[in-house]
Amino acid sequence: MAITAAAVKELRERTGAGMMDCKKALNETNGDVEAAVDLLRTKGLAAAQKKSSRTAAEGLVGVSVEGTKGVAVEVNSETDFVAKNEQFQDFVAKVTSVALQQSEDDVEALLAADYPAGGTVKDVLTNNIATIGENQAIRRMKTVAVSSGLVVPYIHNAVTPTMGKIGVLVALESTAGADVLEPLGKQIAMHIAAAFPLALNADGLDPELLARERAIAKEKAAESGKPDNIVEKMVDGAIAKFAKENALLSQTFVMDNKTPVAQVVEQAGKAAGVEIKLTEYVRFQLGEGIEKKEEDFAAEVAAAVAG
């Protein structure tokens, strides 16, 4: 099949591999980008699990917190122009406040909830689509809570103090005061925004993701020509390294680039004289996981002329 320039570009951005290597990998995998990523990694030509900060959809992530409970909500729009619209921003702010009062993370229930200015959230969303003239949608929500302690919010690339491109919540269970928990939570939230953990700890990592990593590691280790028992140890070591680098509590804290996050929390508890537990977190990045069609304007014009 013909390999498109867009596919090569995407593969380069995701792996950091050279253009010709990307094109060859796509040819070998019949244009399957995911398979091409694995192939390049197997050959040692791609960065391990390069984390893309590209946002494939527009809109805003809003956060709302009241002491021991917090919620993050992603509301999408078609263009960044609408995300800057005051009507849209007011809607995001009010929707996150409504979401904070919900008992479960259910977008349909949120849409059916009463809106502060009257009607339901869905009614107002429908009206916004009609008046702003662009499609909008509430994509997802996630709540975290502690029985005692604090939920600390953080917005990266903020357009207002409660909304932006990346929203983070950190749940700290403790009897320590806000003067201890708030600065600690803020630093950990900034770490989460930058380091992109995939789970709180190794046990929380997606089994399918680990299986994929194991398959890649096994193929790479087999090329060493070493005995099977050594290959197996190499694979186990690679998976342990992957888990350590992608689970929040074992990640190296970005603030000092040497201490595991779990140890940072432990040290803060010892300094405060009470135990502090990092029990949960949320990291919503606008548009992650959504593929947005990239229009080739020149090709579109040429096709229109030809037609």
Q: Where are the domains of the chain?
A: 1-47, 58-169
Cα(77)–Cα(138) distance, rounded to whole angstroms?
9
pLDDT of residue 223: 83
Give yes or no for residue 48 having a pLDDT over 60. Answer: no
* Fold for the domain defined by 58-169: Tetrahydropterin Synthase; Chain A (3.30.479)
- Residue whose token pair is 């009062």: 101
Q: Which of 50-64, 72-86, 289-303 has the highest mean pLDDT?
A: 72-86
Q: What are the tens digits of pLDDT across the range 120-147?
A: 999 999 999 999 888 899 999 999 999 9
Mean pLDDT of 228-233: 88
Q: Would strands 163-174 and 69-77 be described as parallel, antiparallel, or unpaired?
A: unpaired
Give yes or no for residue 297 having a pLDDT over 50. Answer: no
Entry pTM: 0.79
pLDDT of residue 1: 67
Give yes or no for residue 31 having a pLDDT over 70. Answer: yes
Mean pLDDT of 1-6: 80
In contact, 172 and 279? CB cutoff 8 Å: yes
Instruction: Provide, rounded to the nearest whole percent, the portion of the chain with pLDDT above 70.
Output: 91
pLDDT of residue 166: 97
Give yes or no for residue 306 having a pLDDT over 80. Answer: no
Task: Kindly list the distances between the CA atom of residue 45 and the CA atoms of 17, 36, 37, in Å, as whole numbers in the listed order.
Answer: 6, 11, 9
pLDDT of residue 161: 94
pLDDT of residue 52: 42
258 pLDDT band, cuts 50/70/90, is very high
Pick the CATH number of 1-47 from 1.10.8.10, 2.40.50.140, 3.30.420.240, 3.40.50.300: 1.10.8.10
Give yes or no for residue 73 having a pLDDT over 80. Answer: yes
Task: Kindly list the distances between the CA atom of residue 295 and the CA atoms of 4, 8, 141, in Å, as whole numbers in the listed order.
Answer: 13, 15, 29
Give yes or no for residue 281 having a pLDDT over 90. Answer: yes
